[in-house]
Structure 1
Amino acid sequence: MTGSDKKIHASGAPFRPLLPVRSLADIRKLEETPLEEALTVRSTYEIFRNAGAAFGGKTALTFLRTGNPADEPIRWSYAELLARIHQTANMLHALGVGPQDAVAVLLPGCLEYHLALWGGEAAGIVQPLNPLLTDEKLVALMTAGRAKVLIAYGSDSESGMWSKAMRLRGQVPTLTTVLRVAPHDEAPGAAGALPGGVADFDALRAAQPSDRLVSGRDIAPTDIAAYFHTGGTTGAPKLARHSHGAQVFTAWASVQVAGMNEQGISINGYPLFHVAGVLPASLASLSAGMEVIIPTTSLLRNKEVLANYWKLVEKYRPTSLSAVPTVLAALANVPLAGADISSIGYCRTGAAVLSPELAARFERLFGLHVHESLGMTEMAGISTITPPGVDGPAGCVGFPLPYMQMRIVALDENGNASDRELPPGEQGMVLFKSPNLFSGFVDPADNAKAFTADSWLATGDLGWIDGDGRLNLSGRSKDLIIRSGHNIDPKVIEDALGAHPAVQLCAAVGAPDAYAGELPVVFATLVPGASATEDELLAFTAARVDEAPAKPRSVIVIEHMPMTNVGKIYKPELRAMAASRVVAATVARVCSELGVAPAARPHVRSEGENLVQVRIDAEAAGALAAPLQAQIRTALEALPFKTQVLAE
């Protein structure tokens, strides 16, 4: 960076790529300038102030009302976005929100989400919430974050959000105000009178100044910008603290490595309570002057959006496509039908490892090479990026960000990170230190497992570094299938089955076994219109898995793959399904040995993800009820899975 460049950057220029990144050497060249000189922006608010000044009337956000390409969208310019961010921050300040106070957000995909995010960070600490969590977990998160204000969608059309907000408001001790965001198509006055402690978001916002922060707040890079929750789909969610500096670095580094600039247009279908949608997909794009398209309130869960995706590409001319692998698999079933998608120059995925077959299929159908990245909540949304122009094999997630340190270490006997560093080419757990490392969890007790003794982030991701310095992932340490002490990487099985032309998605998990601890099984969904038997798929997979212990015991075809609402395959539910099948087979064997009539056989079902329950109808089983209960209990005791046998 030259002296004149430094001066321009310091005076409030937006982020711009300094050089095309095509190799690790290019990353190292960026690092020649000390970070404090390369990056002078101190807060996310400053990003929007700089972008507003630089891009003014250029479109920042485009909201699609429907998935119909013929419908006219709603657009906000950079100047309008900055003005509304000022108003939102000033409204929150007037409601008593200060730098230590949290603003919880319960919204679908909408323009106002960006006001809640960036206005919330300018006034205090924003706390995006997953609307599909239970009331109990949402209350726990808001209570832990000491949320003072809740910004909520004023309709139940999306995940019952408004009813949920009304239930939450009496259960969080620190909550003083609920702000209602009206749906974009709601007629004025249709909401009627609001209850006490509830106010209209737009009405209060519009009364505030739009040209400055009334608070006069000087935001430091170390100030906490956001609380993002990790997990929560199973177990207790944890609140990760992001500093302004970490989020700013994510935006700046993403611009450098991915080459983002003001000519770019993207469709952001990631949920905005998730780091991927908020930081690399939104903040980074907007810091560089890109146009970000929000594809309806339901985002890529909207079937009309998916069905018309390529037509929407033809109309809005996005320069990049970004989606999780499960969405890419769904898009692979949508025919181009003559749509012109030549505007897309960069296709990217993350959140889960890409299968080689899906990568090949996407390239074959659409001429798009899928570039992979690695991101996580604890790294403010991004850790490694495969840049445009660098084509890696499936599983290659690219180069580390500038100024980041990365190590691969061996696993210990419990599957955790050891202190033994591995050379390039050897697989182990990925560790990071970086300027965008999170500031720890709100509850200090949660930090113990997140870091090694020497303060490296233990990601839980398994991978290796190739000869070009790129990180390659194989999966998660917690997803390893451990068969008689033998660690089986589920990706080996998934890649084998995923190569079958009839398979849409597949996921391998460990089924409990009394002798081996776990045995590999694999669940699969089929391409619409395709057919294949489970025996055929099992033989196909076994022939392509070299290691005998890794050959799956069964392939189970299911209609729908369980998903998290950010589009990842949800393996805890699959493990529970596998355990239920093992328990059911054990119960059937005991019933046959005792001569129990089919009509009197017990009912087996999963109770959550960690318990399989066997219910015996004592009346139907008659005199066999007691010995049946005793023998089933004895047979199930050997399984490494929690079971419960009840006679009723």
Structure 2
Amino acid sequence: MTDRNDRHDNDYATPVGAPFRPARPVRSLADIHALEQTPLAQALTVRSTYEIFRNAGHAFGDKTALTFLRTGNPDDAPIRWSYAELLARIHQTANLLHDLGVGPNDAVAVLLPGCLEYHLALWGGEAAGIVQPLNPLLTDEKLVALMTAARAKVLIAYGSDAESGMWSKALRLRGQVPGLTTLLRVAPHDEAPGAAGALPEGVADFEVLRVAQPDDRLVSGRDIASSDIAAYFHTGGTTGAPKLARHSHGAQVFTAWASVQVAGMNEHGISINGYPLFHVAGVLPASLASLSAGVEVVIPTPSLLRNKQVLANYWKLVAKYRPTSLSAVPTVLAALANVPLDGADISSITYCRTGAAVLSPELAARFERLFGLHVHESLGMTEMAGISTITPPGVDGPAGCVGFRLPYMQMRVVALDEHGNASDREVARGETGMVLFKSPNVFSGFVDPADNAKAFTADDWLATGDLGWIDSEERLNLTGRSKDLIIRSGHNIDPKVIEDALSAHPAVQVCAAVGAPDAYAGELPVVFATLVPGGAATEDELLAFTAARVDEAPAKPKWVALVDALPMTNVGKIYKPELRAMAASRVVAATVAELCAELGLPEAARPSVTHEGESLVRVTIDPAAAGAQAAALAERLQQALEPLPFKTRVATA
């Protein structure tokens, strides 16, 4: 490493400052107002994420910043990095990228699982240029489109296919992205030195190049402004074309600072971050905010909370690593509710938090009953650098209450127009509408200006698409997403009403309500559900149970379907576009069965029904099985399916 006394004149162009510390406990909106008495420019002087790590590195030194679990076995020894080591390695990574020609306007794409090096790619990438975390589950085509739109110059990728086939994918991508000059290979933590052998031309070993760089400064001498773009995060992508959201350094810094203030983070905290690091939840509230305050962040194996061993041993890991907070999406909380404590001491946890999807009252009650932990909810989104509202420690809200707005933020709830978009009419307190924000951490717009049209209202409020209402304590309460509303003959049905009713059944693990296409009503409410391990219930029983608890007649579901697993995003949110396609397939299959029965076709002659993506259901007729009736069957099917408000295609095998 470089001699720390051998510094350049530009090392401290901005003096080293203090880490973020909460100014006061936040228990009400009055405490938010008290914070706002100090002008934001005085309360928050840090301009970049690099400054956050420089300040934390000097303040916390040898204190552990990151703990990486090699496996989910509590007996295995972890790998730990101190705050000083993390800062030194961020310097080296930024300097390596600078050597590779990365400047402030160049993107560094990242294709990594949960690992220590992800933090070097993130924060070293932002110190040198613009970091672009990528979801490894996206298709090659979408990844190429994203990297091309970002004009990525370097790709940092995991050198193994053990996690989502990342290395093979990276090798394929490097020849398809114009302007991509270098592929940096990150070796798995258990790989022996030299085991990878010779690397192809244009591919280099990340670790070998990194350790050769100075570790005590930014060689570039870059002075990062708060308005400089720090990252490109993609939104969506599992359906349709993903969009690239631009985050400024100032937006990310504000998210970290505000999270520390409202959630009361400090250097005595320890957290297990099981969120993917290509997602804002894992990168900003769970990592940047924590590390800005001196929290120790535990990374639970490369597979994170998708690791079955980690889930099975979660409470034992809590007993060993003594986290002070637990944060996970509702589907993970539901899975943890099935893991027995077996005597594990989890008393270190003083704050349990969730987000990404609305929490059901039954799951909230079950978690508190089993573990003595009240689940506090927050709201975050990519377009707000990961956080919008927080329910702080010491404030117990009902399920669906996502807490107070952040300091220096404005929040409104407005009525929907006839197209389901935000209108300019603000609703009364307690009335549901779309949530709008203005805030210092609102993103800098999408890379493609055409994508900005629906993101903002005419008067520049961020239109979140979230539906909610403000209670008497001025906390935001969510009910769902505007795009997930089920519209039955013009009647708007909130799926959460149905989901809350069904999730109260003791045999139900998780459930989700969506609209199934209907020729007359447009959509009819239906529900998909999974059962708890060992649970038993029939679909008819669950349908009757739900209908009895849904007061509004149009919202009573038409059917309940039991499935082995609900489709999930890589963050752990239930993926409703896939469920809507599954519902459409079931409706089409019922139409096919009815028509085949009418024509007297035997079971073996019935066409197959499959859905392709989220927008098309295909009906395939086997002419050999259907015989002379094949042509008539195809014609009748076309007529029967045409009225459905969903794209269908009848084909012959």
Distance in 1, Cα, partners of 2:601 & 2:70: 59
* Alpha-carbon displacement from aligned partner over 1:307-348 (angstroms, at most 9, x marks no partner): 000000000000000000000000000000000000000000
1:620 CA displacement? 2.0
State the alpha-carbon separation in 1 of the partners of residues 301 and 620 from structure 2. Answer: 45
Partner-residue secondary structure (3-state), 2:33: helix
Q: How far is 1:10 from its partner?
A: 7.7
**DSSP-derived class of the 1:211 partner:** coil
Q: Which residue identity lines up with residue 54 of structure 1 in the other structure?
A: A
Residue in 1 aligned with 2:246? 241
1:125-164 equivalent positions in 2, closer than 5 A: 125-164=130-169
How many pairs were matched up?
Answer: 640
Structure 2 Cα separation of the partners of residues 298 and 598 of structure 1: 43
The aligned residue for residue 100 of structure 1 is 105
Quick one: which of 567, 573, 582 aligns to 2:578? 573
Structure 1 distance, partners of 2:314, 2:618, is 43
CA offsets 1:161-186 (integer angstroms, 9 cap, x no match):
00000000000011000000011111
**Alpha-carbon distance in structure 2 between the residues aligned to 1:228 and 1:247:** 12
Match of 1:179 in 2: 184
CA contact (8 A) 1:429 1:463 kept: yes
How far apart, in 1, do the equivalents of 2:645 and 2:219 lie?
59
Q: Structure 2 counterpart of 1:424, which letter?
A: R
CA distance in 1, matches of 2:443, 2:166: 29
1:14 alignment partner in structure 2: 19
Runs of 4+ more than 6 Å apart: none
Residue type at the aligned position of 1:475 = G
Structure 2 partner of 1:273: 278
In 1, distance between residues paired with 2:363 and 2:106?
A: 44
**Which sits farther off after the overlay, 196-205 or 585-594?**
585-594
State the SS of the aligned residue for 1:72: coil
Residue 329 of structure 1 corresponds to which residue in structure 2? 334
Query: Does the 8 A contact of 1:383 with 1:401 survive in 2?
Result: yes
For 2:36, the equivalent position in structure 1 comes to 31
Whole-angstrom CA distance in 1 between matches of 2:606 and 2:334: 40
Secondary structure of the 2:122 match is: helix
What is the deviation of 1:617? 1.4
Residue 10 of structure 1 contacts residue 41 of structure 1 at CA under 8 Å; is this kept in 2?
A: no
Whether 1:200 and 2:205 are equivalent positions in the alignment is yes
Counterparts of residues 395-410 of structure 1 (less than 5 Å):
395-410=400-415
Q: Quick one: distance in 2 between partners of 1:167 and 1:350? A: 35
Residues 288 and 588 of structure 1: CA distance in aligned 2, closer, same or farther (over 3 Å): same
SS of 1:593 mapped into structure 2: helix
TM-score (norm 2): 0.97
Report SS of the residue matched to 1:269: coil
Cα distance in 2 for partners of 1:128, 1:111 equals: 14
What is the TM-score normalised by the length of structure 1? 0.98
1:531 correspondence with 2:536: yes
Q: Distance in 2 between matches of 1:160 and 1:576?
A: 27
Alignment match, 2:46: 41
2:200 equivalent to 1:216: no
| 1:320 counterpart residue number | 325
Structure 1 position 65 matched with structure 2 position 70: yes
The unaligned stretches of length 5 or more in structure 2 are 1-13
Aligned match for 2:550, one of 524, 542, 545:
545
Residue in 1 that maps onto 2:7: none
1:4 is aligned to: none
Give the secondary-structure state (helix, strand or coil) at the position aligned to 2:425.
strand
Match of 2:11 in 1: none
Q: CA deviation at 1:448?
A: 0.3
**Matched residue of 1:522: which SS?**
strand
Aligned-partner Cα distance in 1 for 2:215–2:610: 57
Aligned 8 A contact 1:431 1:456 in 2: yes
**C-alpha contact (below 8 Å) 1:13/1:50 kept by paired residues:** yes
Q: Is the 8 A contact 1:10 1:40 kept in 2?
A: no
Name the CA distance, whole Å, in 2 between partners of 1:546 and 1:350: 27
Corresponding residue of 1:381: 386
* Aligned-residue offset at 1:11: 5.4
Task: Tell me which residue corresponds to 2:591.
Answer: 586
Tell me how far apart the structure 2 counterparts of residues 494 and 599 of structure 1 sit (CA, whole Å).
36
Superposed CA RMSD: 0.8
Q: How does 1:140-539 map to 2 (within 5 A)?
A: 140-539=145-544
Hey, what's the Cα distance between the residues in 1 that align with 2:245 and 2:272?
27
Listed one character per residue, the Cα deviations across residues 395-428 of structure 1 (whole Å, up to 9, x for unaligned) are: 0000000000000000011111111111210000
Paired with 1:69 and 1:595, the residues of 2 have a C-alpha distance of: 61
CA distance in 1, matches of 2:626, 2:541: 38
Contact (CA 8 Å) 2:16, 2:54: kept in 1 or not? no
* Cα distance in 2 between the residues matched to 1:614 and 1:87: 56
What residue number does 2:621 align with? Answer: 616
CA contact (8 A) 1:16 1:256 kept: yes
Shift of 1:589: 1.2
Tell me how far 1:647 sits from its aligned partner.
2.6
Counterpart of 2:106, as a letter, is: D
1:643 paired residue among 624, 645, 648: 648
Shift of 1:619: 2.5
Matched-pair contact (CA < 8 Å) for 1:385–1:399: yes
Counting only pairs closer than 5 Å after superposition, residues 115-134 of structure 1 correspond to structure 2 as: 115-134=120-139
Tell me how far apart the structure 1 counterparts of residues 15 and 647 of structure 2 sit (CA, whole Å). Answer: 59
> Is the partner of 1:199 in helix, strand or coil?
strand
**Structure 1 letter corresponding to 2:517:** P
Contact 2:252 2:385 in 1 (8 A): yes
Partner in structure 2 of residue 3 of structure 1: none
Question: CA–CA distance in 1 between the matches of 2:46 and 2:299?
Answer: 26
Question: Could you say which residue in structure 2 is the equivalent of 1:626?
Answer: 631
Partner of 2:3: none
Instruction: Report how far residue 141 of structure 1 moved.
Output: 0.3
Inter-partner Cα distance in structure 1 for 2:259 and 2:625:
64
Which deviates more, 586-595 or 117-126? 586-595
> Match for residue 596 of structure 1?
601
- Structure 1 counterpart SS, 2:367: helix
Read off the aligned partner of 2:23 and give its amino acid letter.
L
Q: Secondary structure at the match of 1:509?
A: strand
Q: Alignment partner of 2:352: what SS? A: strand
Q: Alpha-carbon deviation of 1:622?
A: 2.0
Partner residue in 2 for 1:109: 114
- Structure 1 residue 605, shift from structure 2 partner: 1.0
How far apart are the structure 1 equivalents of 2:485 and 2:472? 25
Match of 1:564 in 2: 569
Contact 2:368 2:374 in 1 (8 A): yes
Instruction: Give per-residue Cα distances to partners, 1:109-143, cap 9 Å, x unaligned.
Output: 00000000000000000000000000000000000
Alpha-carbon separation, structure 2, partners of 1:139 and 1:626: 42
SS at match of 1:450: coil
State the Cα deviation string for residues 550-592 of structure 1 (Å, max 9, x = none). Answer: 0000010001111011000011111111101110111111112
Does structure 2 conserve the Cα–Cα contact (< 8 Å) formed by 1:104 and 1:126? yes
Q: Is the 8 A contact 2:480 2:494 kept in 1?
A: yes
Q: Which residue of 2 aligns with 1:5?
A: none
**Structure 2 counterpart of 1:225, one-letter code:** A
CA distance in 1, matches of 2:336, 2:407: 33
Deviation for aligned residue 1:453: 0.7
* Cα distance in 2 between the residues matched to 1:69 and 1:561: 29
Letter in 1 for 2:575: Y
How far 1:249 sits from its partner (Å)?
0.1
Q: Can you give the 5+ residue segments of structure 1 that lack an aligned partner in the other structure?
A: 1-8
Q: Distance in 2 between matches of 1:11 and 1:599?
A: 75
**Distance in 2 (alpha carbons) for counterparts of 1:210 and 1:617:** 67
